[in-house]
Structure formats: structure tokens, C-alpha cells
Structure 1
Amino acid sequence: MAFTILNTRVVDAGTTLPADCLRVAGGRITATGGPGIAQPGDTVIDGTGTTLLPGLIDAHIHLAPGCAQLAATYGVTTQIDQFSMPDVIERETPRSTFRTSGIGATAPGGHPTIAYPPIPYVSGPQDARRFVAERIAEGADHLKLIYDNGSGIGLNLPTLDAPTVQALTDEAHEHGLLVVAHVSKAADAVTVVECGVDVLAHVPSDPLSPADVEAVADVAVIATLGVMMDGFNAPTTGHLPLLDDTELVKRLPDVWRDLLEQQSRRWMPPGPPDSTAARANTLALHRAGARVLAGTDAPNPGQVFGASLHRELVHLVHAGLSPREAVVAATSAPAEVFGQPDRGRLVVGARADLLLVDGDPLTDITATQRIRETWVAGEHVVPDPEREQAGIAFLGETTARILAAFRDQPLPT
């Protein structure tokens, strides 16, 4: 289908273009400019009062059935999976809407073992070559590794050691793979960056010193502020913040709304991460030159595929980024970091992943929530209740496994 959007604010890489019209044909952007770019036979869409953005990119999710479909209804047209089992990856189609690490590298019994069936572990540097080769054979686009002993949430878990992180990173780089490292503490972030990783998954939840900031400023950082601020406060408030976001909730399927209500009453370990420190760390790293990327860690409690990325943009602005910088964090920046040159931009030849919203998100970041239309590869997105139900069933099984494991976990004395 060919169509032309007229009279809209066209935003590319966080900048408003002089063009106010954009044309799509064959799933690609074919022209930007004035009304004259429309061709005979095009469907014409009047975008008066709107802003046209590239489809948003969530740099940190974990796949569930139907997640690509649900995310796309919120204008999140690409998701970066940061740890999923091969059978889930096989089921979540179309493949072109996400990139994946497959199974992440963790120590025997380490995080996030409790969320998954039996997985291959990494016991030491000698396992690095085998583990990376297996992930490549399964179709991984990058490598995820976990360097976290759980102390940030009051647990004591096995974790990889620095020599193993180094070996995994070196092996992945030998094969041209980007390396993403899960960390939760400042000291751990410094260690993995010294080992050469490319991206930090999560900004540390304890304060980074000026020396720490300098040590890690050359890598990209997926902040995931919302997983702390929107997920860990329910035990004290009894209500998850997403449920109060009117623009997002009105698109939320009933089954997901019910799930959020259930999660509001869930058990959680004591001592939630310090979101104040995380916000300060995000701003400090941004100012030091780190590429800050928007990611949700969905479907962790309180996080919904697609919807929560809009809240993450708000959290980034509250942390000190400008609305323009927040938009970049969910469009061109993750596309560049994860090697997707045809995503995250509104340029001729790019894939026509589009989000049309009312208002101007470069001045008011909440405008991204006022969604008028979304397209994936030029195809208009419509809800699919059957796929949404499959995702809920999958999450129910996973959540039950996690909560049972948490209840059995002895707390430190």
C-alpha cells in the first residue's frame, strides 16, 4: 500500500525536518518534502496538529508470545531481546521486529535462573568459546552476560567472575557480536567495562563516583528506570503507576490491565533499588558522553510491552534529559548501537516503521502517548486479542516460577 502523510511535523534523529510530508510505498519511505510528493492512487492522511516519529525502539525486553504485536499498537516497532529461550524466539513472529541475544551467559544458579527452565551455564573462561558458538548457531544477534550477585535486591547469588566476563567478551567480539552486560552496582559496571563490553543493561542503582562515570562513559547504557520506579513501588502504594496513565491505559487490553492489578498486590523482596541514585547516574553518564538508550525490561512487574516505553521516556526527562534527547534514546540511538541502519530514522529508503502522535514530543514528552496511528513496514497496526491472551498465559507460568523461587530464597542475615 502506498500512502502520504501531509501537514505533520516530521522528526528525525530528534530534529524537526523542513519537510512536512512523508510518502511510503512498498514498506519503505520513498520521499519527504511538501504536498507534491503524493502520487496518484496514494491514500492521503491529514496530519494537521501531529508529529510523525520513527517507530520507537525498546532496547531491553524479554520475549513473550504476542509481544511484538502488543508493542506495535503503542508505536514500538522494534524490540531488543536481552535473554530468551530458543522456543520462545521461534514462536514470536515476525522475526524482523526484534533482535535477540538468545540465552544469556550466567554462572550456575545465577541470575536469572529462577525465571527459566534449565539453561546452559558458563562455569569459567574455558566455557566461553562453546557458549558463544552455541548462541551464534541459535541465531543470536548479540551476546548478553550477567555480572550481578543479587545484592541490590537483598539476595546472594552466584555470578560470573571478571576473567570469565573477559573471555566471553573477547570471544563475542571475535565473531563480530556486540556484548551487553547486566549489572546493578557501580563497581560491577566499572569491572565489565574494563573487560570491554559495549552496552550496560541497567544503570547502577547505587551512586556512581566521578571516577566511575569517567570509567564507563564510553559505552552505551540502557537506563531501565521504569522497572525500578514503576515496578518496585507497588508493595508500598498498592497500585502500579501505569494504571494511572490515561492515554496508555485506554489502549491496554483488558487481560493486561487485569495482570497489572494482580501485580499491584504481589510479593516483592525488601529493599527496592534507589531510583534517586539511578536517575542521577543516568544524567551523569549522559553528560559525560555515554549513549543513553530507552529500555523497559518488560515484562517485569509493572512493565507492559510498548506502553511502558512511553513511561520510560518520561522518566528519562525527569532524570534530566531533554525531550529531544529522550526521543533520540528510543529511535536513532538504539538503531545505531545495535546495528539497524534502516530503523529509527525518517529518511528515504528506511523501513516505514512510523508513529503518528498528537502534539509535539520535542517540547512535551508525554505527547508520544497521544497515539493517532502506527505502522510496521508500511502496514497499519491493529490489535490482535488472540496473541495478547497467549502472552498473558506465558507470563502467568513464568511469574509463578519466579515467585516460588523468591519465597524459597533465604534472606541475608
Structure 2
Amino acid sequence: MAITITGVHVFDGQRLTGHTAVRLAGGLIEAVGGPELLQAGDERVDGHGGTLLPGLIDAHIHLLPGAPRQALSFGVTTVLDMFSKPDTVSRAVAEGAEPDAADVRSSSVGATAPGGHPSMMYAPFPYVTGPQDAKAFVADRLAEGAHHLKVLYDDGAGGGPMRMPSLDVPTVAALVDAAHQAGLLVVAHVTTASAAIDLLPTGVDVLAHVPFDPLTEAQVEAIAEAGVAVIATLSVADGFPADGGGMPLLAEPELARRLGPAWSGVIQRQAQRWLPPQLPDFAAAAVNIGLLHDAGVPLLAGTDAPNPGTVHGASVHRELQRLVAAGLPPGHALTAATARTADVFGLADRGRIRPGLRADVVLVDGTPDQRIADTQRVTAVWKQGIRADLDAYLGSADERAGLAALRAQTDKVVAAVRDRLPQFARGGDDQRP
């Protein structure tokens, strides 16, 4: 049965249109227009003056069991995984093919140096020891179904608690060349301005994380001229409450309600965890986003969930708020979570409300193109034209599996940090979920 959603404002992924109705049929958006779209036999959904958005896209996550279902309950219909192991990816891709879960695209295992980030969480996994490993590494990721390649260029100097091994520039260049020959986009993890500039000559396509130290005018210009996109991940700051304050995610009533008691409890306990003395400069990161936006650099909304203080799906709405606070107009922030991410990652069938594209749409109560916090007021989600049960994740086996996996990951990281930082072993708090 076709579905016609009426009485809505329509944000098409780039702008608010004058349309008031959208018809969904056969898993696609069939038509966009006005009341005339409603046909006999259609299921009619009265939008009550709300706004219809393309399904949101989180450009940077790490998978947990059940993450695609949790993401969809917050209006996120596609997630881009930036480092997970093959068995986790295969299960998530299968889950994401179902109507009540977000679609999944993944890098599978990212390319990093032996012992490099994120070994503490994911080891063992294949490493890259030098340029000679590039072709084989990329071929193996393709065999695992990778949609893009992730490379990590980070020695811990950008605010982490310790130094670590890192790929060098020639190795990244070899990986980029091999990936591009295989038709893969390359996403580069960087945390500093100098690291971002180092990698521009290699031809990387996307920088994962805006730098946490101030960008100079020349560096902003270089990034703009290189044509790379930047995944902001400003919501990582939600895991570091200032002066012992509360966790921002829990201060948003609409989001906290959908989180449920189990995940809310995890976030509350994360507020009490041990933190290293040197933290990333989140204020500088926000200023950098404003500068990059003004320079015309494509900015993408990504959360890096499930880092502390972040949750799949929920944190996209916090990311949008932070993008607006950094200087983006609300409409531009919405584009960063829809059309622009779809364009950068070659997802030509989604990210816009346009006839012929996937019927991945989200109905929210309010006008998020004017007040970005209204994205939190999700009233309905359709994925390929099928309306999702937004309450199915809470209390489910998927929720329990995700929480258990997060606890296991956290225990592994805590053990590794205690082994390497004696001061943590003496005084660190238990930060397990």
C-alpha cells in the first residue's frame, strides 16, 4: 500500500521546499507535491505541520550489537562504520537489511601501525607495517565487504593520554593509491592540524575528526583547496562534562526518554570515570568547524558513537546542535547529516527527498531548519517505505547485547590503560557500563 504524508514542511536535504506532501510507494519516494498526491486506497499520515526530513546519516560510528536498531529509533536510517571487526560488521550489515534497523556501510578493520590506535580496544587485528602491505591490506578489506577504507594517522599527540605508534605518510599514500585503484573512498583519522596538512598530498578523501588544535588561515585554505570533506565529530565533547557537570545527552528530555533506563545509567556512570590530565581542546575544534564552513569545506555530521557520552542515533541530534553552535545555519547542519554525506560517500539513492530515491524519511514535530533542537522530536520513521517501531529496541535482546559488548570493550581498554599508566592503576575509577 502506498503511503501519503500530508500537511508537512518538506526539507529535501538541501533546503526547505514549498511542498506539503510526499507519497511513498514500492520502497521509494514516488512523488513530492501537495494534497493532490493523495490517492484512493493510500494510507494517509497527517503530519500536523511537522517537518519531513530525509533519513539522517551518521558519518562516523563504531558498531555494537544492535546499534543499527538503536540508531533507527532516533531517525538515523544509515550509519557509516569507521572501524569494526569483520564478524561484527557482517552481523550488522545483515541486521541493517531489515526494515527496523539502519542501513550499514563499513570500512571493516582500519589501517593502523602495529600497536597503534585503536589497538587497546580491538586487538588482535591485521596491521600495516609499511607501504609494501598496502595492496594486500586493501584487498582483504574488499573481501570483507568494505565500502570505504579507514586509515589512522595519530601518534597520540592530539590530546590522548599516551603516545602510540602511527602509520607514516608514505604508507598512507600507498594505502590511498591502492584504495582508489579498487574504487574505495579513503577516510583518514587525524586529531591535529599538522596531521591533517601532512595527509593532504596523499589524496585522502575525508578527514575523520576536525583538529583539536587551532587551524591557521593557511591551513584552512589548504584543506579547502584539497577538496577533502571533514567529519566533525564535535559530539565527542559530550563525554567530557565541564567542571563535573552533567552529561549533555541526558539533559535533552526527548533524547533521554528514548534512551531508556539502561543506557541512561551507562551515561551517568561514564560521567564519573577517570580522565587523563590532558584533554582535547573542544573549543578549538568548534572554532575550526566555523572556519572550515566559511571556507566552503564540505562538513559531515558524525558522532564517533559509542565513545563515552555518546549513543548510536541519539548523538546525531547533539552533533547537529554543536554544528549550529559552531556557526552553521540550521539548514546547513541538516544537509551535513543528509545530502552532503550521501554525496561524499557515493550513496546516490538516499539523503534527499526526491522522486525515485529510497523512501527513508523522518517526521519530526517542529521546524528544525529554524530551531535545530526540533530534530529530537521524532514522531515517525520510514525506511524504504516501511514505518519503523520506534520502541522495539528498548528492553530487547539487541539492547542487552549492545550493553554487554560495550562493557567488554571498556574493560579491555581500562586494563590496557592501567597496564601502561601506573597513576591510573593506583587511582582510577571503575568506568565500566
Question: What TM-score does the superposition give when structure 1 sets the normalisation length?
Answer: 0.97
In the other structure, the counterpart of 1:17 is: 17
Deviation digits for residues 278-305 of structure 1, max 9, x if unmatched? 0111111111121000000000100000
Residue correspondence of structure 1 range 119-198 to structure 2 within 5 A: 119-151=125-157, 152-198=159-205
Q: How far 1:34 sits from its partner (Å)? A: 1.3
- Report what 2:272 is aligned to: 265
Secondary structure of 1:16's aligned partner = coil
Which stretch has the larger CA shift, 93-102 or 351-360? 93-102
Once residues 149 and 232 of structure 1 are traced to their aligned partners in structure 2, the CA distance between those partners, rounded to angstroms, is: 21
Residues 298-356 of structure 1 show CA distances to partners (whole Å, capped at 9, x for unaligned) of 00100000000000000000000000100000000000000101111000111111110
Query: Do the aligned partners of 1:55 and 1:77 also contact (CA within 8 Å) in 2?
Result: yes
3-state SS of paired residue (2:318): helix
Structure 1 segment 59-74 matched on structure 2, within 5 A: 59-74=59-74
Alignment of 1:364-383 (within 5 A): 364-382=371-389, 383=392
* Shift of residue 214, structure 1, vs aligned partner: 1.2
Q: Does 1:5 align with 2:14?
A: no
Shift of 1:409: 2.2
Partner residue in 1 for 2:44: 44
What's the CA shift for 1:98?
1.3
2:286 equivalent in structure 1: 279
| Residue of structure 2 equivalent to 1:233 | 241
Q: Which residue of 1 aligns with 2:222?
A: 215
Is residue 105 from structure 1 mapped to residue 116 from structure 2 by the alignment?
Answer: no
Separation in structure 2 between the aligned mates of residue 294 and residue 408 of structure 1, nearest angstrom: 35
**SS of aligned partner of 1:156:** coil
Matched residue of 2:272: which SS? coil
Match of 2:299 in 1: 292
Kindly provide the amino acid, as one letter, of the partner of residue 20 in structure 2.
Answer: D
Amino acid at match of 2:164: L
Deviations 1:11-38 (A, max 9, x none): 1123112221001112111111111211
What's the offset of the Cα at 1:139? Answer: 0.6
Separation in 2 of the partners of 1:77 and 1:409?
39
CA-CA distance at 1:144 after TM superposition: 0.1
**2:382, 2:259 → 1: CA distance?**
18
- For residues 84 and 321 of structure 1, the distance between their equivalents in structure 2, rounded to whole angstroms, comes to 31
Q: Is the 8 A contact 2:13 2:53 kept in 1?
A: no
Residue 297 of structure 1 aligns to a residue in which SS?
A: coil
The equivalences for 1:288-327 within 5 A come to 288-327=295-334
1:245 maps to amino acid: E
Match of 1:391 in 2: 402
Q: Please give the alpha-carbon distance, in whole angstroms, between the structure 1 residues aligned to 2:328 and 2:50.
A: 23
* Distance verdict in 2 for CA 1:73–1:164, change over 3 Å: same
Q: 1:170-198 deviations in whole A, cap 9, x for unaligned?
A: 11111111000000010000011121100
2:397 paired with 1:403: no
Contact (CA 8 Å) 1:147, 1:181: kept in 2 or not? yes
Residues 411, 198 of structure 1: alpha-carbon distance in 2 compared, 3 angstrom cutoff: farther
Deviations 1:211-238 (A, max 9, x none): 11111122100010010x201227x415
**Is 2:353 the partner of 1:346?**
yes
TM-score by length of 2: 0.92
Runs of 4+ in 1 over 4 A off after TM superposition: none
Matches of 1:129 and 1:410 in 2, distance apart? 36
Letter in 1 for 2:192: K
Amino acid aligned to 1:144: K
Structure 1 unaligned blocks of 5 or more: none
1:257, 1:380 → 2: CA distance?
26
Inter-partner Cα distance in structure 1 for 2:123 and 2:42: 49
- Corresponding pairs, count: 410
Instruction: Output the CA distance in 2 between the equivalents of 1:327 and 1:268.
Output: 32
Instruction: Report the counterpart of residue 86 of structure 1 in structure 2.
Output: 86
1:358-404: per-residue Cα shift (whole Å, max 9, x none)?
11111100010111111111111112322111111111101111111
Could you tell me which amino acid in structure 2 is paired with residue 390 of structure 1? A
- 8 Å contact kept, 2:240–2:271: no
Whether the 8 Å contact between 2:68 and 2:96 is mirrored in structure 1 is no
Q: Is the partner of 2:239 in helix, strand or coil?
A: coil
Partner SS state of residue 304, structure 2: coil
Q: Deviations over 1:248-304 (max 9, x none)?
A: 111112221111112111122221111111011111111112100000000010000
Q: C-alpha displacement at 1:411, in angstroms?
A: 8.0
Find the aligned partners of 1:90 and 1:172 in 2 and give their Cα distance: 21
Tell me if the contact between 1:155 and 1:411 (Cα under 8 Å) persists in the aligned partners. no
Distance 1:324 1:15 in 2: 7
Q: Which residue of 2 aligns with 1:26?
A: 26
Give 2:258's match in structure 1, choosing from 247, 251, 256: 251
Amino acid at match of 2:120: I
In 2, the alpha carbon distance for the partners of 1:350 and 1:212 equals 37
CA distance in 1, matches of 2:95, 2:121: 24
Q: Counterpart of 2:258 in 1: which secondary structure? A: coil
Distance 1:63 1:40 in 2: 42
